[in-house]
Amino acid sequence: MNLKAALIALIFCSLGRALSAEDFAQAWQEPANLTLPAPARSLVLASHIDAPQWLSQNLLDDARLLPQGRTTLVQFNMPEAQWQQQQAELCGQPGISECNVDACQSIQLNSSISNVSNAERVQARIVANPPTLDSIPAHNSEQSTCSVAAALPELDSPTDGAGINLNLDLQALAENTQDRSTQASRDPYAPDAQPAVRAADFALKLVPDFGGQALLQSTEIPADTTGYLVNVGDGCSSTQVPLSSLAPPSVPNLVVAVVTGDVTSVAARHQLIALSQTTLTSTGDVLTVFLNPDPQRSVTQLLTILAQDNDIVSAQREMIYLTAATQSSYSDPWAGLTYGPAHTGALALHTETTGEGETIAVIDTGMAVDHPDLAGRVEYQDLTGKGWSADAHGTAVASIIAAAADNALGSYGVAPAANILALKACQPETPTGLRARCWTSSLVKALDVAMQKNAKIINMSLAGPPDDLLARYIALAVDQSRLIIAGAGNGGALAKPAFPAALPGVLAVTAVNNRNRLYEQANVGEYIDVAAPGVDIVTLAADGSFPISSGTSWAAAHVSGVAALLHPLMPLSSPAEIAFLLRGHSTDLGNTGKDASFGHGLIDVCAAAAAATANAFTCLSEEESSDGF
């Protein structure tokens, strides 16, 4: 069977998606369902105990280890019935101290509440991100770290003992209309310094004939939901999810439109301010961003009006996307040092290819283009209008993909000789931080440039809500046989599907650590294709340091580097066919077959190369391939 036939067989036999992009987008229109985790437990191991071995012996492999001087704090979740059975055995072992029944902690998860043990204690609130104790409306300050008095009405518990289900409904919420009168005098893309939503904006309403469930609604929510967390708790058992992973974030009072007529006339006709207009080379569309200065007219009302204008092809909100990486909580420079290339089999190919002559378009923040690990191999362009800058997130992504090897500096990339087309479409929230915002208009312009420059591999280490205009240009790039690789999102296990990862033709990548454990903040969903290293990754910073951080951003970058290695070995195959090959030659993780956590599994680039080229590649073990490099 030749390569083309093999790839077609893979497409039709094993690689189809169970759900469509419309299904994933529809999920954003449905109430979110939150399940409280099992209560948290903790104990302390003495210094002479081998913590990883102890966890394995006691079947607690998913526990979290937190070094505390000479001792180690172990944290894990366990249902009450199981805890009652195992508490004495776990806590009675020599060298175990401070064995706690309830360990109050913040768990970065997800979104209706089930498994509620005490309905009177259930509460929900939106708080500024990150949450602090000051934002929790505690009736007793001594209880504020663990249990807060009831904030919601008492519920009638179901008689079947199944618990109470609460649905978090984020659809028919009042639009935040504050500060419209001053919007024209400030940068409309700047995050609000003072969040408009405060604690306890949620109210619980019993709904008749709702099958024993209750509907959780909010009285107000901002258009820009990126700065908030939704917290839901039942005493010490609590969960939280980024609000932007449940309710689509957008820039207040901005509209992105494709205009066929005169932009000035359209603006005058609808009392709008045209902030920018760009002719897109790939389609000839005139992409225009309008500001709505009328404090009495909501964006929803404006979009209804614009839909009837014959000079406007499409109009929508200016959606917000976020880069998908977080700084690690510790900074040991040797932790997990550059395990990614060996872990995926990419290092075994470096004797054959290092990506020379390949170009990867990185749609991201700016990056340090003059750093010795990247210098001479980066072409760059700003699409935000805010100017080029040497930013943290883009620099890290580029270093994972293509940092130079064997130059006595820091680490090396997956494809250390590849070139980078750096397209700045995202602006950092802080000068040196990893968190950055991207917008519909800047992402569309960046995709247009990537197509104009004929980039075959496009990395998008960012995540956000469904977006019709972005989807249109993603589809255009895919139709041109370009491979788009995107992070699966860092919203947690019950976050809504992340886009553009959930779009057809996009290779959606989740993150695992060097033991193939799923990144604890990773999204879960049927749209996820493959897994790659993304936890405790050594990256490059503009100041020459090598910080360690985690996220599906880094996993996507690993796969982009892998694609740049494979393409020279398969010159007659398109990058899109490489994606099918990677899905079909991944190491299965989690449940047998494709699953919602790991997709098809951990990418194995050496196995993919060997299968595609009939070359006698020697795919060494990870330990063997790491020796001597």
Phi-psi region of 89 (alpha: psi -120 to 50; beta: other; left: phi over 0): alpha
Query: Is 407 exposed, middle or buried (CB count within 10 Å of its CB: 0-12, 13-18, 19+)?
Result: exposed
Cα separation, 361 vs 380, whole angstroms: 10
Q: How far is CA 552 from CA 355, 393, 501, 536, in A?
A: 22, 12, 11, 11
- Pick the catalytic residue from 343, 350, 371, 393: 393
256 and 440 in contact (C-beta within 8 Å)?
Answer: yes
Q: Is 389 an active-site residue? A: no
Distance CA 334, CA 337 (A): 5
- To the query of whether residue 294 is one of the catalytic residues in this protein, the response is no
Of 242, 229, 166, 234, nearest to 201 (Cα)?
229
Given 42, 250, 553, 573, the catalytic residue: 553
Distances (CA, A) of 486 to 303, 325, 364, 524, 557: 29, 12, 11, 14, 8
Which 3 state secondary structure label does DSSP give 56?
helix
Residue 496's nearest CA partner among 275, 252, 249, 270 is: 249
Q: Is 123 exposed, middle or buried, given 0-12, 13-18 or 19+ CB atoms closer than 10 A?
A: buried
Round to whole Å and give the CA distance between 323 and 498. 12
Q: Is 50 a catalytic residue?
A: no
Rounded-to-integer distance, Cα 391 and Cα 343, Å: 27
Q: CA 489, CA 508: separation in Å to the nearest integer? A: 9
The separation between the first and the last C-alpha atoms of the chain, rounded to the nearest angstrom, is: 36
Q: Of 224, 364, 373, 467, which is the active-site residue?
A: 364
Just list the catalytic residues.
364, 393, 553
